[in-house]
Amino acid sequence: MKLLMLLTFMALAEFDYQRRSAHSCPDLCACTFSLSAAEVVCGHSSLTHFPITGLLPNITRLSIQATNLSSITASHLSAVPLLNYLQLYYTNLASLPSELLGVLPHLDTLDLTGNQLVELPPNFFSHASLRNLVMKSNQFKKAEASWFPTNSSLTWLDFSRNHLTSISAALLQKLPHLQILDLSDNILQDLQADTFRNLHHLETLNLAGNKLTSLKPTTFANNLKLKQLFLQENQLKELPATLLQSLQHLEFLLLNQNKLQHLPIGLLDGRKPSFRTILTGNPWECEGKMEYLWKWLTINPQNVLFQEEITCVSPETLKHYQVASLNETQLGIKSQIL
């Protein structure tokens, strides 16, 4: 009986809270309230100013999407000091004030996708205990170490679809807790051997859609927890034989749509049974140097996705042949037991 009364009281309390809160929601926004959280979503193109009127101080999630906001200040955000999630998605922001995040001590996730940001003030993230940061689809040409504090708490950083030509070890040295790093669809042309040296907790690294032509043998030597490595849609012509040597937990490797003609001996050896790879869209030369990949495909078909699409580009007599379907004679190697 007491339990029933308690549940009834809680239900009435939440109903009353929602009833009272329903009268306080900014124009052009939708609000959701409960006893434990409050969320505001504003997604109307006619919204040109920060929706300060009607915001309650207990708001924990604020999402402003596809608007013409163009500017935001610390004074605006001081109205919602309990925010742990802030999304400013395609809101035409070209700059952000240095003190913006200082009024949000509980901020966990910041999503700035689809703006016009080119630069950020020094120490911009120093006042926020951020764990998730999304900077996707902006206009950044550089990612500066000066934006972040030493030993940042970030675990997820998405810098995809910008104009980055390089990424510095100095920046990533400040982000030792990263588990997910997305640098896809930039114009990265080269990676220094120590770029990812300090990322000992990294599990997912996305470098797809860049301009990489080669990788150093020790590029991933310190990323022992790496599980997913995306290298597709680059211009990789060859890979070091020891590139994956330290990655004993690697489960997913994408190398499709590169310029690989063969793989070095030992590259894919020692993989877990759960390991999967995609190798399609490369100009495989089905001659002597193809022996290693041919054998590996034959022995490990369960580890390869779309194996039927791994085909020869040369020589002309083998063009479009599936690599795994070839024999020793066609490859010009001596017959031997696999």
Each residue's pLDDT, cut to its tens digit, for the chain (338 residues) gives 445 544 444 443 444 444 444 457 999 999 998 877 799 999 988 999 999 988 999 999 999 999 999 899 999 999 999 999 999 999 999 999 999 999 999 999 999 999 999 999 999 999 878 999 999 999 999 999 999 999 999 999 999 999 999 999 999 999 999 999 999 999 999 999 999 999 999 999 999 999 999 999 999 999 999 999 999 999 999 999 999 999 999 999 999 999 999 999 999 999 999 999 999 999 999 998 999 999 999 999 999 999 999 999 999 999 999 999 999 988 888 665 44
Q: How much is the pLDDT for 333? A: 80
Residue 84 main-chain phi, psi, to 5 deg: -115, -5
In a 10 Å sphere around its CB, with 0-12 CB exposed, 13-18 middle and 19+ buried, how is residue 15 labelled? exposed
Domain 24-134 fold: 3.80.10
Is residue 154 left, alpha or beta, with left meaning phi > 0 and alpha meaning psi from -120 to 50? beta
Q: How much is the pLDDT for 37? A: 78
- Tell which residue, 162, 169, 161, has the closest CA to residue 190: 169
Q: How much is the pLDDT for 166? A: 95
- DSSP 8-state symbol, 98: T
Q: How much is the pLDDT for 23? A: 54
